[in-house]
Chains A and B, each alone.
Chain A
Amino acid sequence: MTTHEQHFHDPANVTNPEHAEHHIVTPVHYLMVFGALLLGTLLTVLAADQDFGIMNPVIALAIASTKAVIVILFFMHVKYQSNLIKMTVAAGFFTFLVLITMTLSDYISRAWGLW
């Protein structure tokens, strides 16, 4: 196809509806994220030493979720990605929550030991 030299289809002229400016996260930002994650780890260990009763697992999971969101947004660059990627990530966690909710509602609504 040597005669087909001319590019009628010009990639430079294509507008990407999902266009997101390519963003390079700087080491300074990474360092701040790193510090926040270490702080979170220290916090969760200290919190586990205190007796908050039923709130202990809640606090631990809240700290872990915060750390996970920080990792996803900055280390995994989701904050700077297109809406398609953001939507994909959110949809994944949402589906997981739906599965947990449905299984748990089955579990807690059974008459355990009564049949």
Chain B
Amino acid sequence: MPRETAVHEPHEHVFIPQHRHHFETEEQQREAGSFGMWLFLLTEIMFFGGLFFAYLLYRNWYYDAFVPASNFLSVTLGGTNTAILITSGFCMALAVWAAEVRKKQFLVIALILTTVFGLAFIGIKYVEWHDEWEHHHVPGAGFDISEFVSPNAHGITDQKAIPPDMAQHCQIFFFLYFAMTGMHALHMIIGIGLLVWLILRAQRGDFTAGYVAPIENFGLYWHFVDIVWLFLFPLLYLINRHPLK
């Protein structure tokens, strides 16, 4: 029977303000929203994927340069930042829960904590970048290879000296390092901007009356940015600690 001619018994319709007319059901609207968000995140996978792939190839190619360059990074700072980012993600997950069960105050606090841990991450990242700047490890005309050519003269005892032409390739490591952590940090800064907007709206009660989609979809974005770092940390900081002989 064609749907248009179907006769239904009159019954109660539940209208909710966030339900748009072009969606049959609220569930369909929600599904379409998640689907769209995931499609966006897939483009992000490809975007960061290209950087990861470049890292894979260049590490393979200039392995001897990537080892000391990578080992210059501080595992303590990187590890702390990983824990901070995971904590931020945990707060975000709690925020989604709070919106679902309509706890406004909890939602606002969870979003604020997410922001605070996000800012702490950027802060530590700044300390690291500053350190690399001080040591002239920013690729370009000011790049200084002396720490890699004669590590002993700089008080570095656990790294092998490498020839000057290979040491020049340390720039490629640092280029990729700044590109990857920089793009990651840019995503976080955009996220923090969105968080401020979400906090203001959450305070108004926008997301604790059944309309959870913005919180949920922002959560997807924030967790995605977390995942990128979960790979950046081992690849940039950890895997070169015991170089192959």
Contacts and interface: CB of A to CB of B under 8 A. Distances in A.
Interface of A: 7-14, 16, 18-19, 22, 24-27, 30-31, 33-34, 37-38, 41, 44-45, 48-54, 56-57, 60-61, 63-64, 67-68, 71-72, 74-77, 81-82, 84-85, 88-89, 91-93, 95-96, 99-100, 103-104, 107
Given A13-B8, A56-B241, A77-B216, 18 more contacts: A14-B24, A27-B97, A37-B86, A41-B79, A41-B83, A45-B75, A45-B79, A53-B244, A60-B234, A68-B231, A71-B226, A72-B223, A72-B227, A75-B90, A75-B223, A85-B34, A95-B42, A99-B49
B244 A54 contact: yes
B82 interface: yes
Contacts, number: 160
Contacts of B4: 8-9
A8 B35 contact: no
B239 A76 contact: no
Contact of B242 (A18, A51, A88, A92): A51
Interface string B79-98: 10011001101101110110
B61 to A, nearest CB: 9
Contacts of A54: 244
A38 B86 contact: yes
Nearest to B224: A76
A45 B239 CA distance: 10
